[in-house]
Amino acid sequence: METLEKKTEFLNKLGTKKLIGDIQATEDKLTEALNLESKYRNDNVGYLAPYGEDCTEVKQLLATLILNPPLSPEGKKPTVAELGAWLTRQRVENVGLAQTIARQNEVTFSVEAKRIYIDVAKKHLESLKAVLALRTAQIEFLK
């Protein structure tokens, strides 16, 4: 690139202004997504649980149920095994508990979907920044 005109033409073709605009737009989307995820988690904190565990709302319902377990036909308190089997059946038979478990699953899925969107946005932002770094190196080469 020998002439100033060719250098200027090359710089214009790089589309650096558009790239910077894309970076800013992606940063804005990422910030919004992080805020939405945070708000959603805060609004549904009682339904969040580590994988394979029950959330606080389910644990509270199970604790309430365990206070009044059914008696055996002989009128005796159930054994630990019988109580465990009864609580397992309650996850399906007890409408309130089943609905709470369904809500927990819905919240878990939604949080995971939001997290995936955030991760994709972060990777997109990293890619755009890498392209900007390349453009910067190309501009430095023209000096």
Q: What is the 3-state secondary structure (H, E, C) of 70-125?
A: CCCCCCCCCCHHHHHHHHHHHHHHCHHHHHHHHHHHHHHHHHHHHHHHHHHHHHHH
Sign of the Cα torsion 131, 135, 136, 137 reads positive
Please state, in angstroms and rounded to a whole number, the distance separating the CA atoms of residues 90 and 16: 61
Please give the C-alpha separations between residue 27 and each of 20, 49, 65, 134, in angstroms, as whole numbers: 11, 29, 47, 19
pLDDT of residue 97: 96
pLDDT at 121 over 80: yes
Domain coordinates in residue numbering, the chain? 4-142
Task: Read off the pLDDT band of 4 (50, 70, 90).
Answer: confident
Confidence at residue 1, expressed as pLDDT on a 0 to 100 scale: 45
| Residue 48 pLDDT exceeds 70 | yes
Q: How large a percentage of the chain has pLDDT more than 90?
A: 65
